[in-house]
A = this chain, B = another copy of it.
């Protein structure tokens, strides 16, 4: 049995989207249990008609305190001692849950997780890691925004963590790890990146393939892309932005008149599979890696289908016990 602590109040849509996601995933995976952390008055009516096979695996942990999406993380850490997010993380610390999932304030989730769970031995600071679709499969990128200024040693730790995660999640014996850099410019990279390159190259346990540039992130040539959190966050959001820009422009062109709508309908089988592959919702769920416990962040605007992806990821990581694997490697 695997227990997951779900922050039912986090994110923009709250229990109305999060609870149906729990139902979906619980019907798929019979070994799951969950703590539903949040406002009992809101939760109870929404799960009232669930099949007993699911509801008997649920425990409601009531609280009416919530971390707001725009709350300053340090303030949330100091003042929101009974917030749903915090109680969910404490269930992981206390060994009652093997993972926690929240769609709430990312900064607060990171700050509270670090404070409550602490980092693995050998890890200075946790990172945010997520997968992206590539030509051949997927690639994992870290850090995506937890660390805005990273030294070379931290970048090296990201490489170790990313490699361990991908090896476990996908059974790849030696995941190809690359360091994000820039080319063609006056000085190739900055000192931190150059030093990280040396550290990674010197580690024979790491399948380090060297530098890649931004246009190769989605190439499928590497399994792990390492960068600092500022660069990673900008790159990820740039990718999401341009993907959305192209897809909405294309859809708008197909809506122009009756003829184009007919064409769009005829073309649907062609682009449907591709759109599905590119849909960020299918990649929902970023891991806060390097903590002594599995913490998965869902996108704040995730709907039930997308939140279900974050839940599946949490269950998978809990099952593999990623934090223990990290403790072995580092």
* A interface with B by C-beta (< 8 Å): 73, 105-107, 110-111, 128, 135, 145-149, 180, 182-190, 213-219, 227, 229-231, 233-247, 249-250, 253-254, 256, 260, 263, 266-267, 270-271, 274, 278, 300
Contact = CB atoms under 8 A, between A and B. Distances in A.
A182 B233 contact: yes
Nearest to A149: B190
A107 B230 contact: no
A146 B254 CA distance: 40
Contacts of A240: 214-215
Q: Which of A149, A190, A218, A245 has the most CB of B within 10 A?
A: A245
Contact of A107 (B186, B214, B242, B246): B186
20 contacts: A73-B186, A106-B186, A107-B185, A107-B186, A107-B188, A111-B186, A148-B185, A148-B186, A149-B190, A213-B237, A214-B236, A214-B237, A214-B241, A217-B238, A227-B234, A239-B241, A246-B278, A253-B271, A256-B270, A263-B267
A274 B267 CA distance: 17
A271 to B, nearest CB: 7
A135 B246 CA distance: 10
A234 B231 contact: yes
A233 B214 contact: yes
A258 to B, nearest CB: 13
Q: Which of A190, A215, A238, A274 has the most CB of B within 10 A?
A: A238
Contacts of A215: 237-238, 240-241, 244
B254 A270 contact: yes
Contacts of A219: 241
Nearest to A227: B234
Contacts of A256: 270
B106 A233 contact: no
A253 B170 CA distance: 27
A182 B241 contact: no
Contacts of A227: 234
Contacts of A247: 246
A41 B253 CA distance: 50
A264 to B, nearest CB: 9
A158 to B, nearest CB: 15
Given A230-B231, A253-B270, A274-B250, A214 B238 contact: yes
Nearest to A240: B215
A218 B245 CA distance: 8
